Amino acid sequence: MSAGWFRRRFLPGGPLPAPRPPRPRASPVPYRRPRFLRGSVSCPGTTDTPRRPEARPVRCPARGRELPWNAGYAEIINAEKSEFNEDQAACGKLCIRRCETEEDQEWVTLCPEEFLTGHYWALFDGHGGPAAAILAANTLHSCLRRQLEAIAEGLVATQPPMHLSGHCVCPSDPQFVEEKGIRTEDLVIGALESAFQECDEMIGRELEASGQVGGCTALVAVSLQGKLYVANAGDSRAILVQRDEVRPLSSEFTPETERQRIQQLAFVYPELLAGEFTRLEFPRRLKGDDLGQKVLFRDHHMSGWSYKCVEKSDLKYPLIHGQGRQARLLGTLAVSRGLGDHQLRVLDTNIQLKPFLLSVPQVTVLDLDQLELQEEDVIVMATDGLWDVLSNEQVARIVQSFLPGNREDPHRFSELARMLIHSTQGKDNSLTAEGQVSYDDISVFVIPLNSQGQRNSRH
C-alpha cells in the first residue's frame, strides 16, 4: 500500500474508514447495529466505499460469492459456518498531536522534529455476533490516538520526564526515572494498554444500550518512532518472517494458557463460581466412581501436579475444561482476553464470564532500526482460523517461496495474503497436515517491513 494513498484516505487525526457492516441473520437476538454506527458506515455499491486502488475482490471458495477487499495488504474470507463475517479489520496512518494547554481543545501541530506519525493495523475476531468487532474496528484507533496525544511531550523527550508539564519537584527526578528503567517505548506500551481498556468500556456501554451481546479478540500492530509494537488480546497471532528466520511476535491467550490467573481469581473470589463449578483442574471430568480415590489435580499455585482424595465438591463442572483449542472457560468461551462480552453468562445461569476476562493486551516491541531489513521481510498477522491448520513454519515457507519470485508484481503482498488463506481451504498442493481445512472466518494482513524502515529513516 502506498503511503500516498494513506494520506488521501486518512486525514491526520481523522477517523479511519469504517468496515462494511455485515448482513444480519435471523437469530434469537436479532442483530442491530449499535447506535453510534447507524448511518455512519459506507454500504456496498456507494461511491464512498473505501477501496484500495489496485484492490481486487477474492471469491470465497466456501460460498462462491465475491467478498470486498479490506483495507491494507489483506484478504478476508467468510467461511461456510456463518452468514455474516465476524472478522473485522482496520488500518491507517496515525498522526500524533498535542494540546497547548489542558483547557485548549484545539489541536496544534508540533514543530517538525516533534511531529509524530505512525501506522496502525488491527484485526478483530468476533464471537457471539459481529457487533463488538465492528465497534472495535471503528474506535480502537481513536482511543489509541487520544492516549498517545496525551503523552506526546513524553514521547519526543530524550528521557520520559517525571512530570509531563516539565515542572521539577525534586532535582533527582531524572535519576529516579532512569533507575526504574522507564523508556519511551514504555509510554507507548502504556498507551496501547489504556486504549484497549478504554475501547472495552465503550463497547460495554454501546452494546448494553443497543441490547446487543458479543465480544472479539484484538490484534494490533503499530509502527512508531522506528519500533513496531504488537499488542494482542486473544488467540490471533503475528509473526515476523525474514529470509531465513521466523519469529513469533505474540502469544495466544486461552483458558489453558492463563489457567493459573483464572484459578487464582476463583480462589480469591469463590462467589464468582456461584457454587456451580470447581476451580481445580483434573486430567478429565470426574465421575461418581472417583469419590474417595486419590487422583491427579492442580490448583492456582501449582505449575506441576499432585494427588488429592476426591470429595463431592470435586464432581462439579471444572472452571476450565478441555485440552488445547477445545479448552473452554466455564464451558463457554475459548479465549481468556479480548474486548466486550460484558453481558455473557453461562447457559441457563446468572454466572458472568467478564470477571475472568482481561481486555489488557500483551505488547511485544520490535526495534526495526536494529534489523537488517530485506525486501522480502514481512509481518504476517492473522486470526486463529489460519493458525488452526498452518504452523508458523508452514506460513514462513509459503512467504519465503512466493516473494522472491514476484518482486515485480505490485500486488504481491495482497496476493500472498490470498495464497495463505487458500492454503487453509484444502486445495491442491496445500501445506496443511492431512488435508486439514479451516471452517473459521480468516483474516490476514501481510505488512512489508522494508517500507516501514525506509519511512523511519526519512523521519
Whether residues 264 and 327 fall in one domain? yes
* Residues 79, 217 within the same domain: yes
User: How many domains does the chain divide into?
Assistant: 2
Angle between helices 392-402 and 412-422 (to 10 degrees): 140
Domain containing residue 90: 65-99+113-253+359-422+439-448
The whole-number pLDDT of residue 369 equals 86
Which amino acid appears at position 126 of this protein? Answer: G
Residue 383 and residue 243 in one domain: yes
C-alpha cell read off for 48: 464512498
**Does residue 139 sit in the same domain as residue 224?**
yes
More confident residue, 106 or 322: 322
Is the pLDDT confidence value at 75 over 70?
no
Instruction: Quote the pTM value.
Output: 0.78
Q: Do 89 and 161 belong together in one domain?
A: yes
Cα separation values, 245 from 369, 376, 421, 435, Å: 17, 12, 21, 26
CA distances from 206 to 37, 186, 214 (A): 10, 30, 11
278 and 248 share a domain? Answer: no
Which backbone phi and psi does 127 adopt, to 5 degrees?
-145, 150
Domain assignment present for 142: yes
Q: How far is CA 448 from CA 26, 96, 216, 228, 453, in A?
A: 40, 23, 26, 12, 9
Is there a single domain that holds both residue 242 and residue 379? yes
- Flag whether 325 is in a domain: yes
Q: What residues form DSSP beta bridges with 215?
A: 127, 340
Element (H, E) at 242: strand 237-242
Residue 131 CA to residue 139 CA, distance in Å, equals: 12
Same domain flag for 176 and 312: no
Amino acid at 331: G
State whether 249 and 264 are in the same domain: no
Over residues 130-149, the mean pLDDT reads 94
pLDDT tens-digit map of 88-113: 999 988 888 765 544 444 434 444 44
Say what the pLDDT of residue 15 is. Answer: 43
Q: Tens digits of per-residue pLDDT, 383-410?
A: 999 999 999 999 999 999 998 888 888 8
Q: Is residue 314's pLDDT more than 50?
A: yes
